[in-house]
Chains A and B, each alone.
Chain A
């Protein structure tokens, strides 16, 4: 499939730069999964709503870098249309030297690419929203050097990212106009390879995805990747806007001895997750149907150890992880030959394990079963199929 002088080791050592070099040297077939035969026919999933544009269509997944028409967008306030010529980004708050940048000023700073799979933390909350994920090569300038140049003052605790999008919010008994906002610690803002991005896959970011400038936080859910950036403010107190303290807050029961203690935490890092993207079949042989499954696995950048797939009540079988393309904060594709099955209904499910030993839970495991909010739905996702004779 590939003819490249960039090896897998280069990618793992070199991170984004090597991966980008690899991608540029590859010619992608219609389907990047290896060993997919020309006569393989899609077996559609049962009980699933239709896919449509502006959402990833798993069953026709055919590109490691997601084409724009497969990219989701979610907005909580308005979707501002910003004139790039008059756009300004403020760096303010607890900094020695506040700055205001025009878009050209940002583009004049050192350019950097960041490969990243971005998932909505609401992805998987509904069977109608499991395509809220896409993989991209973001281009922009790193944030840390800008903050360093502005000089973060002693006592600063958080960096708050405000968007141009805003609306009235009722906060207890008070109604006020507020901008969209999300925050992170100063340590995270400086240390997570955060990027101020203006391009996606070589094209200017589209208006619905945050043009002209958005934040990219590798390994964090989409909500943290603030669109339509207006102001980056360093503060000495915790920011408790709606999308930090009220929504995108996971309520989960945690077993502490004999007790279950419910704890709320703000959505941040992406969780280990895998999904079977599609199942294919070949012509029936001796009354049985050959099946194969293909899928994707991703997380917060922790290396993936393995993906296993189970057919019906069978044992977990190892799937083959694509060696290339691969990048730290990006999904990897996998495939598996499921052998032959009898015609009828079957279930196929994948399970990922990362290098730290973390295992993707089932919906019945405490980690998911005791979660009372819908964000961070990273449970195993069984796929139901009906195989015709």
Chain B
């Protein structure tokens, strides 16, 4: 819950929000293959007012509870930095911030029998263009109650889908291909700007965050990992929150 604000801070907040509407940009990743350029961080653009929140997401492996695919996401030669984790704030007062921004378009391609990128995070109202550059027919479908659709794409076909409803970190759009059961992808939809997809260095960054009490949530769909913690953001203090995940954070759903 956000604290009640007296008059002068309210004015400062309104100025900050106005500045945010004019300055905020949204950058969406295009490629998640470990052998290619990694998704760019989807942090919000700089705002002169409001603290900046940064942090690093890491993964601590346990040889007795092996994550078969960790080699694609975890920097085992570093500190265990975790790539392609979705990090987001959750709290009252965030919904609808920057609601009038121009909708962005992300692209999810089908290549080599996989969705590329595998995980994206977008704003409610954004569109996703699905393309098929595999020399064969694929299908993109989601049975998620939040947004269901089903379209078959031949080589070279493309289709755009709008995602108007936000499910946050707990209700992603789960994509599959009806023809090839191994294909999987996730779309996380948010109704505020404070979310990010970590890159190889595990970093995330939110700028111009309204002060208040929130939960900092981290999910990694490919690893079935989920973590949530309470944080308190003060009005004039940049803060850093590192989160270390482990097999203890595995969730079946």
Contact = CB atoms under 8 A, between A and B. Distances in A.
- Is B a genuine binding partner of A? yes
Interface of A: 42, 44, 46-55, 57, 59-60, 72-76, 78-79, 126-129, 131, 208
13 contacts: A49-B35, A49-B113, A50-B34, A50-B72, A52-B182, A55-B182, A59-B71, A72-B182, A126-B134, A128-B113, A128-B114, A128-B134, A129-B112
B114 A54 contact: no
Nearest to B116: A49
A39 to B, nearest CB: 13
Contacts of B111: 49, 128
B112 to A, nearest CB: 3
A50 B69 contact: yes
A127 B182 contact: no
Contacts of A128: 111-114, 134
Contact of B69 (A57, A126, A127): A57
Residue of A42, A51, A52, A76 with most chain B CB atoms under a 10 A cut-off: A52
B75 to A, nearest CB: 13
B158 interface: no
A55 B69 CA distance: 12
A44 B35 CA distance: 10
Contact of B184 (A52, A131, A208): A52
Given A46-B35, A126-B134, A126-B135, 13 more contacts: A49-B35, A49-B111, A50-B69, A53-B184, A72-B181, A73-B181, A73-B182, A74-B181, A126-B112, A126-B136, A127-B112, A128-B134, A129-B113
B71 A52 contact: no
Contact of B35 (A47, A60, A78, A79): A47
Contacts of A75: 178-179, 181
Contacts, number: 65
Contacts of B134: 126, 128
A208 B69 contact: no
Interface of B: 33-35, 68-69, 71-72, 111-114, 118, 134-136, 178-184, 222
B114 to A, nearest CB: 6
A50 B33 contact: yes
Interface residues of B: mostly helix, strand, loop or mixed? loop
A227 B222 CA distance: 28
A48 B36 CA distance: 10
A47 B33 CA distance: 10
A44 B181 contact: no
Contacts of B35: 46-49
B181 A208 contact: yes
Nearest to B176: A54
Residue from the set A44, A48, A50, A131 with the largest chain B CB neighbour count within 10 Å: A50
A59 B66 CA distance: 14
Contacts of A131: 182
Contacts of B178: 75, 78-79
Contacts of B183: 52
Contacts of A55: 182
Nearest 6 A-B pairs (CB), nearest first? A128-B112, A128-B113, A55-B182, A73-B181, A54-B182, A49-B112
B172 to A, nearest CB: 16
With most chain B CB atoms within 10 A of its CB, the pick from A47, A54, A55, A128 is: A128
Nearest to A59: B71
A53 B182 contact: yes
A126 B113 contact: yes
Given A128-B112, A128-B134, A52 B69 contact: yes
Contact of B71 (A44, A126, A129): A44
Contacts of A78: 178
A128 B178 CA distance: 16
Contacts of B112: 49, 126-129
Contacts of A53: 182, 184
A49 B68 CA distance: 15
Nearest to A78: B178
